[in-house]
Chains A and B, each alone.
Chain A
Amino acid sequence: MYHPATEEVEAYVAGSLSAADRATLESHLAGCPECTTEVEEWRALFAALAALPQIEPTPGFADRVMAQVRVIQPWHVRVAAMLRRFLPTTTKGWLLLSAILALPLVTLGGAVTWLASRPWLSLGDLWIYLGFRLEEFMAGVARQLAVLVLGNQTSISVLKGIHQTMTSIGAPGVGIAALVGAAVMTLSVWTLYQNLFRESTRGGSHATT
C-alpha cells in the first residue's frame, strides 16, 4: 500500500502543503490508520512545543538594563542643555546678565540725551540723522547679502524689483509687510523657545516591568 513520505505528513501538520497535496493526503488518511497515527504524533509534538513556557527574568530587570543604557537625546535637547549651562540660575545672576546686556543701551541712551541737550542739535535733527544712517546701514547689509547669495548682476535686478514693489504698494503696504514680518519673527522666537528652553517632558510615569 502507498504511504506518503514522513516529510509530507510533517508538512501537512505544519500547514505548508499545497491545497491539492493536502486533499490527496486527507483522502489517504481516511483509509490509513497508520498514517493517521503519524499525523497525531506530529500534532502532539507541535502542540507540546507551542505550549513551552516563556522564561521570565527576575524582578527589576528593566531597571538593571536601563542603568546601562544611554537614552538618545535629540539635537534640540542637547543644544538646550548646552545653552542652559551658560544661563544664570539665581536672581542675582539674572540681574547681572541684564545689566551687562543693558549697558550698551544705557550708553547709547546717554549719548543721545547728551547730544539732544546741545543747543546746536535738536532731537528732530538727531532722529532724522540716525534714521538716515540706519537706512544706509541696512541697505548696505542687504546689498552685501544679496551679492553674496545671488551674485552681482542678479542681486541688482532683485533689489531693483524690491524697490519698485515697495514704491508701488506704498507706505500702508510696507507697514502690513512689516507687521507680517514681525509676526513671523515672533513665531520663530516662540518655536525656538519651545524647542530649546522648555523643560523636556521625558521621565515621569514610566511603567516598570
Chain B
Amino acid sequence: MEYQKLTDQEVVARARKGAEAAYRELIGRYQRPVMSLIYRLVQDRELAEDLTQDTFVKVLNALDRYDPKQKFSSWIFRIAHNTAIDQLRKKTPDTLSLDGSPHATDADEVQSSCLTPVDTAPDPAEYTASREIGREIEAALALLRPEYRTAIILCHVEGRPYDEIAEIMELPLGTVKTFIHRARNELKKKLAHLRT
C-alpha cells in the first residue's frame, strides 16, 4: 500500500479499518514535528522523547474518537502542546544545550542528551556558522514564555497558518497574532547582538 500519496485523513481512515501500516505512516509523518515542538518546550531530550511517545500513544489509541472534520495535524499538535505544558507545570525545565544536557555526568550521557538535527549544511564553514546561529536562536527561544514558543514554532518552523495555530492552542485568533508578534519582537531584541 502506497501510503505516502494519501492525505492524513485517508491514512487515518485506513488505520480505523485496522491497518497497522497506516498507524506507522502517521508516526513517520509527525514524529519529527511533534518531537521538535515538545523538545523546544521542555528542553530535555530524553523527556521530550518520552512525551512525544505519550502523545502518539494517546492519539493513536483515540483514533476511533477522532473527528475527520478536524485537521489531523491540529489534533496531534494540540495533544502534544497540552502534554508538554502539563509537564512544564510539574517540573522546572533544564537549560537548553545543543551539546547535551548540562546535568550529564559522563560522556555517554552527554551523547545521549545531544540534539539530533535532521538537516545539516553541506559546507563545514557554513555548517559551523548556521550551528552558531541555531544555538543563539534556540537559546533565545528558550527564554520565551511557553505559549509564545509554541506559537512561534508552529508559525515559523512548521509553517502553520494563524487560524490553525489558534485551533491547536485553543485560543482566539487575535491572541495568537499577539503572541506571535510579541515573540518575534522579543527574539529580535535578544538576537540584536548578532547584527553588531
Contacts and interface: CB of A to CB of B under 8 A. Distances in A.
A77 interface: yes
A200 B18 CA distance: 9
A36 B188 CA distance: 16
B192 to A, nearest CB: 8
Interface stretch (B19-27, B78-86, B100-108): B19-27
Interface stretch (B32-40, B67-75, B87-95, B164-172): B32-40
B32 A202 contact: no
Interface centre among A77, A205, A206 (most CB of B within 10 A): A206
Contact of A52 (B64, B137, B195): B137
Interface string B46-62: 00110011001100110
Contacts of B125: none
A48 interface: yes
A74 B153 CA distance: 37
Contacts of B24: 62, 66, 206-209
A53 interface: yes
A191 to B, nearest CB: 17
A51 to B, nearest CB: 7
B11 interface: no
B157 A50 contact: yes
A51 B134 contact: yes
B156 interface: yes
Interface string B140-166: 000000000000110011010000000
Interface string B179-193: 001001101100100
B175 interface: no
Contacts of A121: none
A63 to B, nearest CB: 9
B152 A49 contact: yes
A70 B45 CA distance: 26
B21 A207 contact: yes
B57 A68 contact: yes
Contacts of B28: 62, 207, 209
B35 to A, nearest CB: 5
B58 to A, nearest CB: 10
Interface in A50-107: 50-58, 61-62, 64-66, 68-74, 77
A206 B185 CA distance: 45
Task: Give 7 nearest A-B pairs by CB, closest first.
Answer: A53-B117, A49-B156, A54-B32, A209-B28, A69-B60, A65-B56, A206-B21
6 contacts: A54-B119, A55-B39, A56-B116, A61-B31, A68-B53, A202-B19
Interface of A: 6-7, 10, 41-42, 44-46, 48-58, 61-62, 64-66, 68-74, 77, 200, 202-203, 205-209
